[in-house]
Every structure is written in C-alpha cells, then in structure tokens.
Structure 1
Amino acid sequence: MCCSAAVAGRRRDALPDESFFNNTFHGEIGNLIQAHLVQMAVPKPARPMEVPRPPRPWINRDELLDETRRHIDTEPGSPLVITGPSGIGKSALAAMAAEELRDRFSDGQLYIDLENEDMYSAARAVLLRLGEPKDQLADTFGGLLSHYRSATRDRSVLVIVDGAESATEGLHFEPSSGTSRLVVFALGAPPDLAVRRLRMSELSAPAAVEMLLAATTGVEDSTALALVTHYDSYPGTIRRIAGLIRARSHGADQDGDSATSLLDYPATDLLDATYHILSPSAAWLYRLLSVLPGAEFEKSILKVFESPSGASSGAYEELVNAQLVTETRDGWCLVEPSVSRDASRRAELESLPIELLAAMRASLRWYVKRAQLADRAIMGDRLRRAAVPADVDCPPFRDGPEALAWFQANHTALYTAIQMAVLHDWNEEAWALAEAMWAFFNNVSYPEEAERCYQIAVEATTQPVDRARMLLFLGRVRLELAKYRDAEAVLRESHSLAVEADDLELIESSLALLGRTNQYQGRYHEAIEFYTEALRNAQQGEHNRAAALQLLSLGRTHRDLGDLGTAERYFERALAAFTRIKDGRHVLLVETDLAVLKAELGVPGAVEKADQVIGWLRQAGLAKQEAAALERLAAALEGEERRRRLELALEVFERVGSVEARRIRRMLR
C-alpha cells in the first residue's frame, strides 16, 4: 500500500485525475446514486399513531386521566409509571390518554406491547417503525437501546409501553428528547424506583354500576349493583358480565332469564355461559377465530368464511355485540385474550368438524396470498416457486412501504401460521408462506426467527426443487448468524438438488452463496472458484443482476486476498453492470468499494472522492457500510488523516451500538 506521508500529501495537493473522474464519477452514475438515495430508507409512517382505540364506555377514570395529562404537560424528562393487576383497565387508560394527547406530540405516538413481544424484539421493531434502516441495527440489546436514544433525540413523541411485568422493563424505552414523554403500564414496580407513579385500583361500586349500565340495556340499577357486589368491580369482569347480558338479549331463545340469574354463575364461568348462548354460526366463528395464527386479525379475512348457518358477517356482529371481539383500528379486530385462550381450549377438547377444518385451511391460504402480494409489492420481480392461491380473495397493497409495515405487524402470526400448516400436513401452504416471507427477512433483521421459519419450511417440501429453494434461504440466514459450517452443509445439499433438477437459477444461487460461505471463512481461492462458476451461469442465462452481484463478490474477494489490481477490474465491471440495470443502491456500494480501493492504490484525487461517496452512504442511512468504508480508507492513510477517519468510524459504530466500536477504540490508543 502507498501509505507514506509524502504520498498522502500529494493526494491532498494534486489536482484530481480527469480520467478517474470520467471513468467512475461521471454524471450518469452520480445522478443515479442521488436519485436512488430517497428510496433506500426503511419505509416509515410520517406520523405514527400506534396506540389502539380506547374501549367504550369510558367510566370514572377522569381523575386518573387528568393526573396522567398533568404529569405529561408539567414534568418533562420524568417517566410516569402506572401499575395495577390484570383486568384493572391499564390498557384502556393508555388508549384514552393517547387519544386525548394525539395532537400534543408533533412526531406522533409509539406503542410498545411487552405482553406480546420480548424486550429485544420490541427494541428492534420500534427502531424499524421509526424508519431506521436494517443495516444500522445493532446485534445486542444494549446497542439497540443506544440507537433508540439517538433516533428519538430530535423527535417529539409520546411513547407508551403496555403489558410490562415490571416497570423497569418499560423504562428502557425512555426517549432522549426533552419534548418527548414515556408512560409505562405495568403489573408492578420496585419500591425504590425514582419515577412518578400512579396505582390503579378497581372501580368504586357506583362507578362499576355506571359502567355496566352504560354497556347494556334493560338492566335495573339494583340488579347491576347485585352483580358488581357478587363478582368484582374490575373493568375486565364488568366487560364479561356485559357481554353475557348482551349475548342473551341478542339470542332468539330468551327462556325468561333475567340478568339476576347471572348471580348463579361463578366468575370463571361467565365466558363459558356467553359461548353457549351464541347462535350456531357465531359459536362456529368463535372457534375459528381462536385458531387464527394471531389474536389480532384483518376484518377482510371474514370474506373467506361461510358458517354452516349463513354468512359470516352476521356471526361476526354477534361476537362484537357480546364483546368477544373488538375493533381496534380501521380494518383490524382483536379477539379478547381470555376469549382466545378459552376458544383454543375448546378446539383441543372438541373434535373439529370437517367444515371448520376446511375454513381453517382457507384462512391459512388467505395469509399465504396476502404475504405473496406483500412480497411482490416489496421485491417486485424475483424467483418464486409457489403458486398464488386463486380460491381466496384479499386486498392488495398500495406500495412497498405499506406491505413491509404489514409484514412487521404480522411476522409472528405468519410464523405461527407456518407451524399450524405443518401440523395439519398442509405442506404446500407452509413453504409457500415461508417463500413469501423472504421479502420481510431480507429487509428486516430477524435472523433467529428466519432460521426457525426455513428449518420448518425445508421439511414441509415434497419436491426436490422446492426443497433446494428453502435450503437456499436457510443457508443464507445461517450465514447471517455466522453458522458457517451449518450454512455450507445445507447449501451443498441445495446445489446438489439444483443440479439434479437442472435448474440454472437455483444452481447459480447456490454457487454464489457457497462462494460467500468460503469468503467469510477466509478461504478466498475456493470462494473465487464458486463465484466464477456462478458468474458463468448468470451470463449464460442472461441474468444481468445476478451477474453484477458475482462481479462485485469477485472484486471484494480479490481485494481481501490482497490482489488489488484484479479487484479494481472486477469493481469497474460490476459498476458498469449495476449502472446499466439502474440499481442505485449497489451502484453506491460499488462506488464506495472502488473509491476506497483507488485510495489504497494511491490514485490522485481518490481520497477526496472516497470521502464524497462515504458521505452519500451517510445520506442513504447505510451506517455499517459507512463505518466499514471509513475504516478501510483509514488503512490507506497515515498520521492525522488516518486518525480522523478512524474517529469518524468510531462515531458511527457507537451511534448504532455496534460491538465494532471497541476494536476501533483500541486502534486509536
């Protein structure tokens, strides 16, 4: 390398070499990069409003709501913790507070539900919803929290953490902006926690009676008081009592019972009694909704169901009337958690009739098709094996951002759907859904979940060519997890199956990933052999993007091997190939590799151009690539110039909470 101070000085003082400009920094490439920058960030809503709608009726929590608002308005920087047992109404208070404060925070509201998500996944998910690119996300929980503080520094947001076991869990999500606020709803909190805290208790008897009367019709005050006294005045219990009363009033068979007869039921039987009063079609839908892969579902899925006694819409309205299902936001519904648990128990204890089993499979096919439509909205034209179900209808997506947001909201339910499909030997649906989910896993970092998904999908395939496809996904995820031996094993099996099937695209993909496996393990010569063969296949099949990717991989492998001249030639070819197909993201990445390489070779003007392109990486939000490029550029320099690039790399690694920051600090000592 040319690293002397004299050479470095000439680089800074000399005029840029014009042939270098014309070859790699010409207007077409620069315009393509700049035009594409705005499309590189992870899709995000302009102003997220994530808190669910408040339940109705809202009774006698105004004092607590006023206290919550007062704290948010007058105590900046001080989190508010609200505790209470399950069923006391914490989520209702959270939703009501968010609704009343919807115009208070210019950058919207974030809702983090720790009852349904672990801390690590929640931190990663909220960063993605804030629009932080996948490539920036750290691999550790501490790194994600550092990134979260950075991402919220210049925002004014209300952050509501619900479903926490202990308030200490929710306090991790305190935003760093002085104009933002955090409210945590938890079962409990340590006594020494230095926060403003409020404790929720059950409603007073008069308030509980008022809530029950507001949720029902035709109930006498004395009866309502007797019911509240017999059970308790938790809002959750009152909701169950009201649901049973409403279900009775809706039923055709009234048999003279009044609300007073509810006093004969133990509290644990309220839900059971509600289920038995439902019409056959509503009871059928109740059981079906319980075996959907997620508690929350899109109302449009009801179109695929036809109950034995008629259309599903009437049965659905009966469930809403009985407060077994709640509409949480436009187009979305929630099966009450206690309902879901009860209905799942019934599904285990009672044999599923054939028509219910058929409807269950139809619902899974609905999820498959919805995921396939999302995949196409995000990734456009790519290799796909599974057919799109023609027997179910579901709404399309407007664009990629909407589709990726749908995946983000449903990825856990979709993984559950794959498990359910395998359990019932619906193997075609299982691997088809896994194939569609690659659009999500390729853009959002959930490698552990992705590995589990494709392990299941591999076993669900029945055709060798489909198995080869799922093995490719599994091998790529294992590479991301640094499980190189496991990755190599499944990729070799994939390659063997692809060769037997004479499938050129699968052969090409398996070769490319085997090349990457060897490159990551430092076996550069073996990697070059795989990449070269993959390149020949891509060129033979006129797969222009695949060929460009192999050229890039060959350039990076030769660079890692120390053969900079050969690496430069491959980078130049890759740059031309990506420019022809107008792949702006890869044009930017290759420009960076090429500019830094030319700096290592001592080309006049290359250092300045490398700095410029690294600045474009920063604009694109590609922080990890930015930091890696700065570190490589530093290696080509000496003295203060070297130190300055390393300090910039350190700043980026620290900003995203990367463990690489420690290594850079050691280099700066």
Structure 2
Amino acid sequence: MTEPMRIGLLGPFQVTSGEAPVSVAGGRQRAVLAALALSAGRPVRSSALAALLWGEDVPPARHRLHAIVNRLRQVVGPDAVTAGPGEYTLALPPNAVDVHRFRALVAESKRADGADELALLNRALDLWRGEPLVDVEAERLALAHVPALAEERLRAIERRVDLVMDAGGHAELIAGLGELTTLHPLREFPWSRLMLALHRSGRQAEALEAYQRVRTLLADRLGVDPGEELQRAHREVLRGADPPPAAPRAAVPAPRQLAADIAGFTGRAGALDDLDRLLDAGGPQVAVISGPAGVGKTTLAVHWAHRVAERFPDGQLHLNLSGRRPDAALMTVLLSMGVPPERIPPDADGRSATLRTALAGRRVLLLLDDVRDADQVRPLLPGSGSLVVATSRNRLRSLRRREGAHLVELEPFTPAESAALLAGVLGGDGDRAAVAELADLCGHLPLAVALAAERVRNTGIPLRDLVVEARDGGARLDALGDGTDDVRKVFAWSYRALPEGEAAVFRALGVLPGTGAGAAAVAALTGVPVPEALRRLESLVDHNLVRRPRPGRYELHDLLRVYAAELAAAAGGGGLPRLLDWYVATGLAARAHLQPTSVDPGLEEPPAGAVPLAFGDAQQALDWFETEHGNLIAAVGAAADAGLDRHCWRLVHLLWAHLDRCRAWPEIAALGEAGLAAARRAGDRLGEAEMLTMAASLRHLGWFEEALASQREALDLYRELGSAGGQATVLNNLGMIYRSMGRHEEAVDHLRRCAVLDEASGDPGDLAVTLFNLARSYIDAGRAAEAVEAAGRSLELLRELGHRRGEGRAMEAIGFAHGLLGEHGAAARWLRDASAVFADIGDRWYESASLTALGRALRADGRPVEAAAALERAFDLASELGDPRAGEIRAFIEE
C-alpha cells in the first residue's frame, strides 16, 4: 500500500489509506488488526492473540489465526503485518494509530504551559469519535484496554476544564460539566468544577443545589461524605452566595412523580438514542420497553424520563401497574392531574374519557411500570400530545399491532457495560480477571451484576471468593444476592404469571443438555406435539423468559437456566430419556444420508415411540448435526450422569459420523472414552466393541499404539460375538492405522483380508469403503496400477449406492494413481471431476484438497494458467476454513 495507512480505534473502527477508507471485515480480522494496532511497531505473540480471540492457545486456534492474518494481509497489504517466530507485528509507526497519537499529545501537553498546553489537549481529545473499540468483537481485548483508555480520556478532560477555568471560561463549561456529572456521578471532580463554574457565572443557588445533589448521592450509594475537593468548592460558593429567590406557587402544580434517577447509570446508549429519536420524530405516542426480568427496564425508563422531563412541562407521572386494575390506575392518574374527585366517573370507560380530556393540549409523560398486558395500558392512553412509556416483561404484541406502539427490546449488558457497572460500585482498581468472570457468571444481567457488586461492597466478601462461590451452578442464585433482594425472587414473579403449559416447558428447558433447542426437541422433552411445543415456546418468547436467537431456535439466559433447573428438580425432573430417544432416532436418520454405506446390525432400530426428523438429502442431515453439535455432546454427558448408559454410548456412536467428517479427533477420543465406560457399566458387549472400534481415530492424533491395542481388543470381542461385519471393520481400521504409520505392506495385507470378508458378506457398502482404502494403500506402496483397479471397483459400487462423497474420494484416488504413473493429463481429468463432486455436495475441505492436487497435476502437465486458477481457489477455501494447509498451498503458488 503506497499511501500512508492510519487506524482509528477511539470510536467506530476506521482504517484509511491516504483519503480513501479501507474496508476491514468485522469479527476476527478487525479484532486481530485492533490488537496489533494497540502495539503498533512492537511484536505481539500469536499465543496472546489466540487467547484474546478464543480464550485459549491451542494448535487449532493458532491455525485459524494464521488464516485470519493471511486474509487481513490481502486487505491492508502484504507488508503491513509481518511475521516472526510465534509472533506478528503491525509494521506501522505508532503515530499511525489514534490511540498512540492521543497518548503522545497528552504526554507533550504535560511539558507545555498555558495556551500551548490547552491546544495540545484539544488536539488529543479531538481524536475521540466515541467509545473506544466500540465495534471490535473481542471482549477480552475490550476488557484489557477500554477501562484504561476511558480513564486517560477523563483525566485529559479534567485538565482541560481547569485550564479553561483558569482562563475565565466558566460559563462555556457548564453544559459539558453537567453531562460529565451524569456520565460519572460518583466522580467528585466534575461536581466540584460544575459548582465553581455556576458560582463564578453568578448562579450561586444552582451551585448549592448541585452540592446537595452530590452529597445525597454519595451518602446513598457509598455511605460517605463529600471529599475535600467538594467541600472546598462548597466553601467558596457559600462565601459569595445570595439567598435563592422564592419560587412562585402554581395554582395547580404539575405532577412531578418520577422516581429518583439511578446514580451511576451505565450503558444502554443504543436504547436511549432509540427513545430520543422516537420523541424527536413525534411518532407513536406509546413506547414499550420490554425484556426479561432483571434486565433493567425500569432503570432505563426512569433515567430516560429524567433526561427528557423538561420537554413535558405539564407533568411527569409514574405508576406501577403490578396487580392494579385499570379503573384504579385511572383514578390515581386523574387525581394527580388535579381533577376534583367529584368529577371522576365511577367506571373505567368514563375515567378513560376524562383522562383524555384532562390531557388535551398538554405535554405529559406517563411512565407505566410492570405492565401485565395491553389491556392494562389502553384505558390510560392519551388522545394526542403526550407520551406513554410502558415497561413490561411481555412484548405487548397487540399494543404494537393495534396502537402502533414502538418496541425497545433490552438485552443483557455487553461485557464492557457489565465491567463499567461493577467498576462504578467497586472502584476501578480491582481484579480485572475476577470482575470479568463475575460478570460472565451473572450472565451480564444488570440486576445480577448490581446485586453481586452490592454484596461485595456491603458484606466485605472478597471479590475472588464470591467468584468461586458463584461458579457452583447450584448455588449461583444464592451467591448473587443477600437473602432479602435476589435474582430468584425477580424470576419467580415472571414464572408465576405463566399458564401451566408454558411453565412446564420452561421447567423442562432447565434439564435440556446444551444451550438451545428447536421445537421438535422441546416436543420430545415435554411429550407434547410439535405445534403445541412451538406455540408455548413463542409464548415464552413474548414473556421474555426464552430468547429466539435465530428463527426456529430457542434458548434460556444463563441465570434463567439455573432457575429453571431448580424448578425442574423440585418437580421431579423427567423428560430426559424421551429427549435422548429422539436424539438417537434423529441421529440414525441423519447418518443414513451421511454414511449410506454404513450398516450396524443391532444398532439401526430407533427407540420405540420416538418420532425423528426427516431429511431430504445429505446437506439437510449435515446441517442438523452442525446445529446440534454442542447439544449432542452435552447429551452424552447428561446420559452418563443420569445412568442412561445405553443412550450414552449410542449417542457417541452416532456422533462419530459427524465428528469424523469435521476431523474433530480430540472430541472423538474424549467421547469414545465416555461411551466405552458407559457400555462396560451396562455390560453391553456389542456397545463395548463399537466404542473400541471408534478408537481407531486415535491414529489421527499420532497415538498409534493405543489405536492398535483398541482394535485388537475389538477384534477379539467381535469374534466372541460372531460378527463377521465387525471383524471386517476392525481389519479395515488396522489397515488404516498401519498406513498412517508408514507400514504400507502391512496395511495392504489387512485391507485385502477385510475385502475377502466383505465379499463374503455381500454388503456393497462395506466392500466399496475397503476397496477405496486399499487403493490408497496401494498408492502409498507405489503399486499404482493395482490402485487404479481397486479404486475403479470402489467407484462403481459407490455410484450404485448413491454415495456422492465416496464417489469424489474414489475419483481423487484414481487421479493420484494416474499421476504416480506419470499420466498427468488423465490425473487432471479425474481430479477435476472429484473437485466438482465435492463442490456440489458442499464439502469444502475435500474440495480444497482435490483442487490442490489438480493444480499440481496441471502444472506437471504443462498447463500453468489452469494450475494457478485451481490453486488460488484451493487457497481461498482453505483460508475460509482456517485450514493449516493454506500456508502450504500459498507457498506452492509462490514457487
């Protein structure tokens, strides 16, 4: 890149080259570039980058990081990011990054005086365009840098304030200082300077009022008196203050009923902006703030109402509708608006009409808290000019549909918002790792975060001890409270309002393995038809007890899952065996598409009564396995914990079809151990043999002796059981293990013995697989002509079976064999056909591999242009997958 590149992190992420913006994709690329930019010109260990992105430094994470850096270089230029042994460096001078320019200007200002110092601070602060790292998706990076940057900015602002005040600019500071006290209510500096600015501008009464506000706030929140800085400012104001003029009494005072604003209000910038836009646009006269219990609906509503109170000069009313009938609520509002009691009708309809009359021509804000349903709100709606803000755990769908209410949905805090709330209560110098973990354990639910912070402050329990206590899922809800005010009580209000059907589904979700589910899984768990399960789930979504992160998928917030599990345990649990039966049945249906050659006598029958999903093709089956990946692994653990050992090992057996395709060898090893233990506990010899057979995958981890031992033990079991098919499978596995060890003739010997058993059994699927593996071993042994013959026979059988992925693999083997024979044109034709098959079925890993082999064959055949195109496509696919082969492909391209 010839133009100088600049990176902006102090606000929305920004990269420019000269005057032109450079588009860096969100997600991982942006996070890596931001991390490197924060250390511009200095190397960053790849292990540190991997830990920032994935929370761990393991080989797969480093491989993915390598692929991300490669894609990033394509955007910012190959020379912008340099690599060293185990590290990366952003090859830019520090002043190319706004964070470093800001710090350099602040440092320079400290060496200057007067107007020069002020000018430098202004230049430094002008670099800020909003919250730092605001759209960089790397929570650990934000936790590590954002609090420190925010503190540096505040100190620069405070120094600039003092310089402006010294120059006599008191009046121009008042508005900004007022905003600072709102943003940082427990910080004494902005309050003291606001008092002095008001006093020196001739507004002594307002200065004294500011002192009273901060004194009350410090006493309520921290239990302390104002510090010396505030007291000094107070004394200066008192020395020159005049008695405040008496305010004239209004004949009928406008109601001012808002609850006290929340000191230390944190986050919610997007929701506040949304409400501001609604008010500025003069749109709907009703806003609904909705979200789960404890998410801070009332806190947001009250805070925003205070911000805009002056725009409703005729009054602000605040009414809690929990358990109140509309007629009683109307009476309260009418009396607050000054309507004489004798003029208030006895019925709800009459009172509603009177309210509309009373509000006509007025600007009133009506805050209705804890609304149950739309029917509670409708009688309280004004005719025009005023605004109703309703908070509810229910989304009030009919109010939005009929009255056009504007919905503001609240989600749990972001990690940065949680950290800010904890820091506001605990102070900013605590154990950052403990703060971050505590926020995670609270599920970033504002109420839980606030209660946890209050417990630390009020009881003196060490922060790290509270974290350890909250790690225990069974005790977490107790840890996040003090016995009188806790999360469980708030959740109970929402739960008790549910119809029994929805309550049953909510409880059942507490025993669901994994983090989310579709309606079919919930139907199996609860024993109700799928349409009824879907209706109840959608009702729970409307009650904000269940989230729908994407269409057709439902999940509980972390703390709600703990609460639901408590309820399920109290009700006797149940449902897990039905769900596991459904997983087994659906897994069998999916595997039939992914491995149509696989037949396991005694394992193919689905559990009685389970109604599995149906799949139209292999892609649908693969999608299901990928969607349920985490849940199925969690189900294995749940089955083992519940003593459902046959479910446990059958689930492991079914998962192998998916995990083998994903090359998830460590997961296969761990699950295989769990499945083997379960089969042995159950005394199930067939299950034991199947689990031992799975351990052949240990060869991919380089554990050859363990893999061989497991297969020999499995072979003895299959002989005992009289299973010729099982023996054939083990012989096939032994052949593949010997092949991985480089003992090719032994591999050929075992695979030929396997083929004899397959021929005798008459099963075309098993024979097709064995012949394919035999062909690959012939290639490794340098016996290319025999490889062409074996792979050709395998291809014929696979075509008859409709096994598309197998066809592609057989074609690939034939191509390799022709290349070994020096027939590069024929090799290219077979490899091109193989890559087309893999592209057709969406198998990008094998498509990348076959395209790489095609590129080599085309190059050997003297066709460099076609070779380059194939290799570039192979590199793109490998990079997208985070495949470590991407580096090898790039090196081959550059040869």
TM-score (norm 2): 0.45
Secondary structure at 2:547 match in 1: strand
> Which of 558, 570, 589 is 1:373 aligned to?
589
Secondary structure at 1:389 match in 2: coil
Whether the aligned pair in 2 keeps the contact of 1:488 and 1:517 (CA below 8 Å) is yes
Instruction: Using the TM superposition, give the Cα deviation of residue 572 of structure 1 relative to its aligned residue in structure 2, in angstroms.
Output: 5.0
Secondary structure at 2:288 match in 1: helix
The one-character-per-residue Cα deviations of 1:612-633 (angstroms, maximum 9, x if unpaired) are 3333344445222443566589
Amino acid at match of 1:365: D
Q: Are the structure 2 counterparts of residues 205 and 588 from structure 1 closer, same or farther at C-alpha, using a change threshold of 3 Å? A: closer
Instruction: Using the TM superposition, give the Cα deviation of residue 412 of structure 1 relative to its aligned residue in structure 2, in angstroms.
Output: 0.5
Whether the aligned pair in 2 keeps the contact of 1:303 and 1:393 (CA below 8 Å) is no
> Which of 603, 615, 618 is 1:400 aligned to?
618
Aligned residues: 489
Whether the aligned pair in 1 keeps the contact of 2:875 and 2:889 (CA below 8 Å) is no
Instruction: Using the TM superposition, give the Cα deviation of residue 389 of structure 1 relative to its aligned residue in structure 2, in angstroms.
Output: 2.3
Whether the aligned pair in 1 keeps the contact of 2:771 and 2:791 (CA below 8 Å) is yes
Task: Name the counterpart of 2:578.
Answer: 362
> Which of 415, 421, 427 is 2:645 aligned to?
427
Amino acid at match of 1:142: L
Instruction: Using the TM superposition, give the Cα deviation of residue 316 of structure 1 relative to its aligned residue in structure 2, in angstroms.
Output: 5.2
The one-character-per-residue Cα deviations of 1:376-419 (angstroms, maximum 9, x if unpaired) are 34434631415312323354234332221122121001110111
Task: Name the counterpart of 1:480.
Answer: 700
Secondary structure at 1:77 match in 2: coil
**CA separation in 2, counterparts of 1:381 and 1:663?**
32
Instruction: Using the TM superposition, give the Cα deviation of residue 77 of structure 1 relative to its aligned residue in structure 2, in angstroms.
Output: 0.4
- Asked if 1:142 corresponds to 2:65, the answer is yes
**CA separation in 2, counterparts of 1:139 and 1:487?**
27
Whether the aligned pair in 2 keeps the contact of 1:418 and 1:433 (CA below 8 Å) is yes
> Which of 741, 752, 766 is 1:546 aligned to?
766
Q: Are the structure 2 counterparts of residues 148 and 424 from structure 1 closer, same or farther at C-alpha, using a change threshold of 3 Å? A: farther
Instruction: Using the TM superposition, give the Cα deviation of residue 653 of structure 1 relative to its aligned residue in structure 2, in angstroms.
Output: 6.0
**CA separation in 2, counterparts of 1:76 and 1:537?**
62
The one-character-per-residue Cα deviations of 1:121-152 (angstroms, maximum 9, x if unpaired) are 9999xxxxxxxxxxxxx992235536877999
**CA separation in 2, counterparts of 1:280 and 1:667?**
64
Task: Name the counterpart of 1:184.
Answer: 137
Amino acid at match of 2:268: E
Amino acid at match of 1:610: A
The one-character-per-residue Cα deviations of 1:256-302 (angstroms, maximum 9, x if unpaired) are xxx99x99973634224434565666554433211101332212344
Amino acid at match of 2:288: A
The one-character-per-residue Cα deviations of 1:416-450 (angstroms, maximum 9, x if unpaired) are 01110111111222222223323322433333223
**CA separation in 2, counterparts of 1:426 and 1:595?**
47
> Which of 437, 440, 457 is 2:655 aligned to?
437
Secondary structure at 2:137 match in 1: strand
Task: Name the counterpart of 1:624.
Answer: 849
The one-character-per-residue Cα deviations of 1:83-109 (angstroms, maximum 9, x if unpaired) are xxxxxxxxxxxxxxxxxxxxxxxxxxx
Instruction: Using the TM superposition, give the Cα deviation of residue 346 of structure 1 relative to its aligned residue in structure 2, in angstroms.
Output: 5.5
The one-character-per-residue Cα deviations of 1:477-506 (angstroms, maximum 9, x if unpaired) are 323333222222222222111111111211
Whether the aligned pair in 2 keeps the contact of 1:282 and 1:319 (CA below 8 Å) is yes
Amino acid at match of 1:614: L
Whether the aligned pair in 2 keeps the contact of 1:205 and 1:225 (CA below 8 Å) is no
**CA separation in 1, counterparts of 2:716 and 2:783?**
31
**CA separation in 2, counterparts of 1:568 and 1:80?**
47
Task: Name the counterpart of 1:612.
Answer: 829
Whether the aligned pair in 1 keeps the contact of 2:13 and 2:136 (CA below 8 Å) is no
Amino acid at match of 1:609: A
- Asked if 1:334 corresponds to 2:555, the answer is yes
Amino acid at match of 2:578: A
**CA separation in 2, counterparts of 1:284 and 1:579?**
49
397-406 or 563-572, which deviates more: 563-572
CA RMSD of aligned residues (A): 5.5
**CA separation in 2, counterparts of 1:299 and 1:419?**
22
Whether the aligned pair in 2 keeps the contact of 1:431 and 1:460 (CA below 8 Å) is yes
206-215 or 427-436, which deviates more: 206-215
Alignment of 1:385-534 (within 5 A): 385-461=603-679, 462-475=683-696, 477-534=697-754
**CA separation in 2, counterparts of 1:528 and 1:316?**
55
**CA separation in 2, counterparts of 1:554 and 1:560?**
10
**CA separation in 2, counterparts of 1:80 and 1:552?**
42
Task: Name the counterpart of 1:201.
Answer: 267
Alignment of 1:561-572 (within 5 A): 561-572=781-792
Whether the aligned pair in 1 keeps the contact of 2:598 and 2:766 (CA below 8 Å) is no
**CA separation in 2, counterparts of 1:546 and 1:225?**
65
564-573 or 497-506, which deviates more: 564-573
404-413 or 427-436, which deviates more: 427-436
Amino acid at match of 2:658: F
Task: Name the counterpart of 1:39.
Answer: none
Instruction: Using the TM superposition, give the Cα deviation of residue 352 of structure 1 relative to its aligned residue in structure 2, in angstroms.
Output: 5.3
Whether the aligned pair in 2 keeps the contact of 1:578 and 1:587 (CA below 8 Å) is yes
Q: Are the structure 2 counterparts of residues 202 and 601 from structure 1 closer, same or farther at C-alpha, using a change threshold of 3 Å? A: closer
Task: Name the counterpart of 2:23.
Answer: 77
Instruction: Using the TM superposition, give the Cα deviation of residue 78 of structure 1 relative to its aligned residue in structure 2, in angstroms.
Output: 4.7
Alignment of 1:566-585 (within 5 A): 566-575=786-795, 577-578=797-798, 583=803, 585=805
Task: Name the counterpart of 1:266.
Answer: 485
Amino acid at match of 2:506: Y
287-296 or 583-592, which deviates more: 583-592
Whether the aligned pair in 2 keeps the contact of 1:369 and 1:389 (CA below 8 Å) is yes
**CA separation in 1, counterparts of 2:889 and 2:621?**
38
Alignment of 1:8-27 (within 5 A): none
Structure 1 stretches lacking a partner, 5+ long: 1-66, 82-113, 125-137, 154-181, 194-198, 218-222, 234-240, 251-258
Secondary structure at 1:214 match in 2: strand
Instruction: Using the TM superposition, give the Cα deviation of residue 642 of structure 1 relative to its aligned residue in structure 2, in angstroms.
Output: 11
- Asked if 1:324 corresponds to 2:398, the answer is no
The one-character-per-residue Cα deviations of 1:172-230 (angstroms, maximum 9, x if unpaired) are xxxxxxxxxx873747266599xxxxx9923688959999962579xxxxx96898479
Amino acid at match of 1:513: N
Secondary structure at 1:140 match in 2: helix
The one-character-per-residue Cα deviations of 1:317-341 (angstroms, maximum 9, x if unpaired) are 7644532113444433222333113
Secondary structure at 1:293 match in 2: coil
Whether the aligned pair in 2 keeps the contact of 1:458 and 1:471 (CA below 8 Å) is yes
Amino acid at match of 1:77: S
TM-score (norm 1): 0.59
Secondary structure at 2:662 match in 1: coil
Secondary structure at 1:333 match in 2: strand
Amino acid at match of 2:23: G
**CA separation in 2, counterparts of 1:569 and 1:320?**
59
**CA separation in 1, counterparts of 2:69 and 2:587?**
32
Amino acid at match of 1:300: A
Whether the aligned pair in 2 keeps the contact of 1:568 and 1:594 (CA below 8 Å) is yes
> Which of 649, 658, 663 is 2:884 aligned to?
658
